[in-house]
Each structure stands twice: as structure tokens, then as C-alpha cells.
Amino acid sequence: MMLHEQLGIYKVKLPLPFRLNHVNCHAVKGTDGWWLVDAGLSREATIEGWMQFFEEHAIKPSDIKGIYVTHFHPDHYGCSGWLQNYSGAPVFIGAIDADRINHYWKNGDYILEAMGTLFRENGMPQDVINQVTDSVDKLISFTVPHAELTILQPGQMVNIGDYKYQVILTPGHTDGHICFYNEDYGVLLSGDHLLPEISSNISLWPQPGADPNPLDNFLRALNSIRSLDCKLALPAHGKPFTTIEERISQLEVHHQERLVEIKNCAGIGATAYQVCKQVFRQDLSFHELRFAMAETLAHLVYSTYKGELEVVKKEGFNIYRMI
């Protein structure tokens, strides 16, 4: 599906086996070949989707000149290794998230144990932790084969198709999430940073290594998009949209309201899991519960940095309470 004729941008909508049932990857046609932005999960349905697109547009493996990845999550990074093996093209990603791939996906035992410890300390029952980490373990399997990565730096200019794009560091959804911005047409390949209908998941990941206040990062990065003359955002989930300023304001309001709700749920004392169960819907899959728990923690931690909540240890659990 053509999204932007002048820039040669096509949407490649690939299926996901979750309630959020798709990821929008992008293929950009240039004079000398094609460039891809994001890759989908490494699974048969993704490969079938890419092959169908390649066949429809008569794209040979050697026509693919570069693969750009906005962040390390499996639905964006996962199939990049297969695409690299298929085409021989370099795979580009920001330095921070390249490190996360090495730290988490290539060392799965570490992240499963660290996540289990984080959730246990914050009140999640062990039987639920087992199911949640099993879902993460399955997700990790969608990242192989791994790609050989080429590192991008914030502010760097890169060629995607026949035009230059600036690498914009937008931490929050992941610590090293990047967007690609074309100033000529005001087009932002926004990944999961700026979505039209849902709010990006902002998760606290286990220490050490992960940023201790991801929501603060996200809100700052969200505001920074205002400084761009952005006319069109091409997101990884949902439809392209032009109401950039309006959407930024909506997301800011959403998080401020969520912060108030979560602080009120903490009240005189509660674990993150107790708060999570109050705030989020009850029919979550274990995959979704992991996101909900980590997002609850991100909001609780943000409020502790603001001095609006404190955290104390009680019987081995972190208890958040209003000051």
C-alpha cells in the first residue's frame, strides 16, 4: 500500500499473534533499490508477508539496500536477521537498543530471571510470574536468527530511498527507541513512539542497565517532537495521521490522568501488582499482563521521583504509598 508517493514509502502490514494483531513495517523505493523500516516477528507468517510484498513489486534480494529498526522489541527487530540473510543488506539500529538485544534476547535466561525478581518484589504471585515469563520466553524465540547490527547515532543523517532522514532519539517505549524524520516533506516514521489510537507501552525494565525513569524519558521525547515541522506520522500500529500536535497533547493528558489514578490506587499502601489489578482490565493474557505490570511500575516510579509517592519494604515487598 503506497503511503507517500514522493518519498516512495509503502506500508507492509504484517500479522502478530496477539490482541494487537499487526505491525506496520515500511518499504521505501529509491532509484537504486529498496530500504526497509522494521521487520516484524521472526515467524513463518511474517516471512510469507514479506515474500508476498517482494513478489508484488518484483523485488530481488539484491535490491534491498538497508534495513532500519526503530527499537529492539521482537515485533520490530525479530525478522531482521532473516531479512539480512535473505538480502545481504546491513541492519541499522540505535546504540542503546543494540545493547538491549545483546543483554536481553541473546541472554534469555538473564532477562527471565531478572523480570521474575522484579515482579516478585512488587507483589506478583509466583504462579502468575511463571506464566508471564513463559510468554516472554516464547517471544524471545521470535528474534532468531539474530542480525549483525550497524549502529546509528542520534542526529545522524541516513539515506532511506532517495531522501535523507534524521535519526531522532525518542526514549520511553524503549530506552533507545529511534524515529526517522524527513525534513523535505515533514514525514516522521514514528515506530511505536507516536501512535494514533493507542498509547505506547512505557515499561520499567529490570535493573541494572535499564533506565530507572522511562516515563519521564517518554514525556520529554514526546514534547521534543513539537520542535519538528512534522506534517505526517507513519506509525507502527494504526493508520498514518496528520494531527501531530493534537495527538501529543492527548497522550500527555492520558499519562497525567493515569498518574493520578495510580497514585490514588496506591493510597496508604499497595504493591505494584495490587495497583495494576485495579487499573487494568481483568481479561488480560499473560503477555498483556507483563506490559500492564511494567507500565504500572513506570508510573509508580515516576511519582516517587516527583516526591508524590514513597516506597518502603514490607515483608519483602515494595509498598508504594502517598506522602
pLDDT in tens, 287-323: 999 999 999 999 999 999 999 999 999 999 999 999 9
Chain-centroid distance, C-alpha 164: 23
Task: Report yes or no on 180 lying in a domain.
Answer: yes
CA distances from 312 to 118, 230, 252, 268, 317 (A): 15, 44, 28, 12, 8
Residue 258 lies in a domain: no
Local structure of residue 198 (DSSP, 8 states) = S
Long-range pairs of 241-249 with CB within 8 A, sequence gap ≥ 24: 241/196, 244/188, 244/194, 247/194, 247/196, 248/194, 248/222, 248/223
Q: Per-residue pLDDT tens for 169-192?
A: 999 999 999 999 999 999 999 999
Q: Is position 38 within any domain? A: yes
CA neighbor of 186 nearest in space, from 163, 169, 218: 163
| Residue 193 lies inside a defined structural domain of this protein | yes
For residue 323, being part of any structural domain is answered with no
Dist CA 241 CA 64 (whole Å): 27
Separation of alpha carbons 136 and 122, rounded Å? 18
- In this prediction, residue 68 has a pLDDT band, given cuts at 50, 70 and 90, of very high
The CATH number given to whatever domain includes residue 37 is: 3.60.15.10
Whether this prediction's pTM lies above 0.85 is answered by yes
Which residue range forms the structural domain that includes residue 74? 2-250
Nearest of 142, 210, 143 to residue 171 by alpha carbon: 210
pLDDT digits (tens, 9 = 90+) for 41-53: 999 999 999 999 9
Q: Tally Cβ neighbours within 10 Å of residue 66.
A: 21
Q: How far is CA 127 from CA 121, 124, 205, 255, in A?
A: 14, 9, 20, 30
> Residue with C-alpha cell 516477528?
41
> What is the count of structural domains for the chain?
1
